[in-house]
Amino acid sequence: MRHLLSCADLDLASTNALLDLAEEMQQVQSRSVKKLPALRGRTVVNIFFEDSTRTRTSFEIAGKWLSADTINVSAKGSSVSKGESLRDTMMTLDAMGVDAFVIRHASSGAAAQVASWVKAQVINAGDGQHEHPTQALLDAFSMRQHFRRIGAEGFAGKKVAIVGDVLHSRVARSNVLLQQILGSDVVLVAPPTLVPTGVNEWDCEVTGDFDTVLPEADIVMMLRVQRERMAGGFFPTEREYTERYGLTPERLAKMKPGAAICHPGPMNRGVEISSAAADAANSLVLEQVAAGVAIRMSVLYHLLGSEEGAIR
Amino acid sequence: MADPATNTPTPQVSRVVADASEVARVLARMAHEILEANHGAENLLVLGIPTRGVHLARRLAKLIGDIEGHPVRLGELDITMYRDDLRANPTRNPARTSIPGSIDDAVVVLVDDVLYSGRTIGAAFDALRDLGRPKAVRLAVLVDRGHRELPISADTVGRTIQAATDERVSVLVSELDAADAITITRTGRA
């Protein structure tokens, strides 16, 4: 595998290899010298055309801990704001001898488009409403740790409910693909206005009835209500949304024993997730953040560790 | 070299140079030698290098513990990310590194199956430096087969075997292979 553009690039063996290595990489976090020499001399450019704190920072830390030279380029204050095209910007950076780009862009398919232009390897850190593969990997990582803690066997047969704004969510798309690789049953729960067209091709159950799914779900993944992508009209009011699709304290009490809560962050407390749920003992939210660096180290190592750049 | 791939039995003819009982005797002597050189088991930290070094380290730690009457610290040190040929080979998934407590001021005994070029041990030094500052580092190998590419020698050697470069010296351990043994296989390529 040369690039990581979509969870569709992965199979079960490569997914497990990535998750296993991430587990080892978590140890590095607790060392006093947080440095491995694996990517010495490699240059990784994080280029973010959209705002991000956790993804950009965790990619930067991951690269640095593996001894790569990481450089951050944000669209603001770069030649992009002077009107340079995406192609010219990327080709310019590529000509400097970059080994890999970590790219986030508001347009779906941007990462794949860039991968077709440049010589460097490309990691998709979120492209529009399309995909965010490393987020799905760290979600799977946190779920796997949770399943292990409660003594459950792997993902097979587990019910994963992905709830909320599926339409605008690249996290949902990547998670559906990855969870299917891992063998769990995905249920999408969303108001009809926030279900993407063509969802029937995703090969998973879709419903508008959160309360029926909730007591059966092993994982309840709440999606952020993406106010910045909603020009309005998707649901009447936030209160009504919360009433029907929010993980309220009442719904929290109805969860199956041993079930856990995920949220990709940033959370809108009081909208899609109540504070009671976000801070609950079975909430994996902070674990997901902690897993972010380890997963990204694993991805960078697998893509850049060898000249052959292959996940084996 | 601690690579599972190279130790897999092949259809090629293998010569057994030490069987399970021989390996047991060699390990017992090595345990005594380590204790003698260190004047006891104080501060000892036995670190196995994956894959087969880990199993040999476990046996040595057990033997040392039995002789001294109290358990000795045992861990695993993976060196994959420190290899100088990392980039030239297909991606390998690193194995576990687990160190009980701190390596600072410990006498670390690195344990590997076969000492050949010395590059694995060179990488292990780099890995240790990132983990802390041991009081001393010793090297114990079951087989020294010569042909060093770095100025490294073992403190405790189980067997010295003169093998040609087109021969493969393998250590088999019962945890992963049929039985404990040291074998030599002619590969036909140098």
Q: What is the largest CA-CA distance in chain A?
A: 56
pLDDT digits (tens, 9 = 90+) for B86-128: 888 888 888 989 999 999 999 999 999 999 999 999 999 999 9
How many angstroms away from the CA of A98 is the closest CA of chain B? 16
Between chain A and chain B, the number of residue pairs with CB atoms below 8 A apart is 54
How many angstroms away from the CA of B77 is the closest CA of chain A? 12
DSSP letter string over A59-76? HHHHHHHTT-EEEEEEST
Partner residue facing A24 (CB), from B82, B87, B97: B97
- Within 10 angstroms of residue A126's Cβ, the number of other Cβ atoms is 26
Rg (CA), chain A: 19
Return the residue matching tokens 């090629």: B12
- Beta-carbon separation of B89 and A21 below 8 A: no
| Architecture label for domain A133-284 | 3-Layer(aba) Sandwich (3.40)
Q: For residue B8, is pLDDT > 60?
A: no
Q: For residue B1, is pLDDT > 50?
A: no
How many Cα atoms within 13 Å fall on the side-chain side of residue B126?
A: 17
Of A18, A247, A274, the closest CA to residue A144 belongs to A18
Which of A4-18, A208-222, B75-89 has the least mean pLDDT? B75-89
Q: Is A133-284 the same fold as A7-132+289-304? A: yes
Average confidence (pLDDT) over B141-166:
96
Of A47, A64, A36, the closest CA to residue A98 belongs to A47
**Do the Cβ atoms of B74 and A294 come closer than 8 Å?**
no
**Confidence class of residue A231 from pLDDT cuts 50, 70 and 90?**
low
Task: Show me where the domains of chain B are located.
Answer: 20-85+94-186
pLDDT value at residue A311: 46
| Residues in contact with A18: Cβ distance below 8 Å, sequence separation at least 6, in sequence order | A10, A137, A295, A298, A299, A302, A311
Reported ipTM: the value is 0.77
Q: For residue B189, is pLDDT > 90?
A: no
Helices and strands counted in chain A (H then E): 11, 9
Tell me how far apart the alpha carbons of residues A71 and B156 are, in angstroms, rounded to a whole number.
46
Residue of chain A whose alpha carbon sits nearest to that of B127: A36
pLDDT digits (tens, 9 = 90+) for A177-229: 999 999 999 999 999 999 998 888 888 999 999 999 999 999 999 999 987 76
Residue of chain B whose alpha carbon sits nearest to that of A2: B91
The residue that leads in pLDDT, A307 or B142, is B142
Tell me how far apart the alpha carbons of residues B28 and A27 are, in angstroms, rounded to a whole number.
33
Residue of chain B whose alpha carbon sits nearest to that of A31: B131
- Partners of A212 in beta bridges: none
Q: Is A20 near chain B, with CB under 8 Å? A: yes
| Residues in contact with B171: Cβ distance below 8 Å, sequence separation at least 6, in sequence order | B7, B52, B56, B113, B114, B142, B143, B181, B182
**Do the Cβ atoms of B50 and B4 come closer than 8 Å?**
no
Does residue A192 have a cis bond before it (omega within 30 degrees)? no
Q: For residue A99, is pLDDT > 60?
A: yes
Average confidence (pLDDT) over A293-310:
87
Q: Which residues of chain B lie closer than 8 angstroms to A20, CB-CB?
A: 93
Helix (H) or strand (E) holding A187: strand A185-189
- Beta-carbon separation of A306 and B89 below 8 A: yes
How many angstroms away from the CA of B166 is the closest CA of chain A? 26
- Beta-carbon separation of B82 and A33 below 8 A: no
Tell me how far apart the alpha carbons of residues B24 and A270 are, in angstroms, rounded to a whole number.
65
The residue that leads in pLDDT, A257 or A84, is A257
Rounded to the nearest integer, the mean pLDDT of chain B is 92
Buried-state track A17-54, b at ≥16 Cβ within 10 A, e below 16:
bbbbbbbbbbebeeeeeeebbbbeebbbbbbbbbebeb
**Do the Cβ atoms of A207 and A187 come closer than 8 Å?**
yes
Helix (H) or strand (E) holding A160: strand A159-163
How many angstroms away from the CA of A17 is the closest CA of chain B? 7
Task: Show me where the domains of chain A are located.
Answer: 7-132+289-304, 133-284
3-state helix/strand/coil string of chain B: CCCHHHHCCCCCCEEEEECHHHHHHHHHHHHHHHHHHHCCCCCEEEEECCCHHHHHHHHHHHHHHHHHCCCCEEEECCCHHHCCCCCCCCCCCCCCCECCCCCCCCEEEEEEEEECCCHHHHHHHHHHHHHCCCCEEEEEEEEECCCCCCCCCCCEEEEECCCCCCEEEEEECCCCCCCCEEEEEECCCC
Q: Which residues of chain A lie closer than 8 angstroms to B77, CB-CB?
A: none
**Do the Cβ atoms of A58 and A293 come closer than 8 Å?**
yes
- CATH code of B20-85+94-186, in short, is 3.40.50.2020
Buried-state track B6-42, b at ≥16 Cβ within 10 A, e below 16:
ebeeeeeebeeebeeebbeebbeebbeebbeebeebe
pLDDT value at residue A77: 72
- CATH code of A7-132+289-304, in short, is 3.40.50.1370
**Confidence class of residue A259 from pLDDT cuts 50, 70 and 90?**
very high
How many angstroms away from the CA of A297 is the closest CA of chain B? 12
From residue B180, alpha-carbon distances to B114, B127, B150, B170, B171 in Å are: 14, 28, 29, 10, 7
For A106, list phi and psi in degrees, rounded to 5. Answer: -75, -15
**Burial class of residue A3 (count of CB atoms within 10 Å of its CB; 0-12, 13-18, 19+):** buried
**Do the Cβ atoms of A217 and A259 come closer than 8 Å?**
yes
**Confidence class of residue A26 from pLDDT cuts 50, 70 and 90?**
very high
Q: Is A30 near chain B, with CB under 8 Å? A: no
For A166, list phi and psi in degrees, rounded to 5. Answer: -65, -35
Average confidence (pLDDT) over B131-159:
96
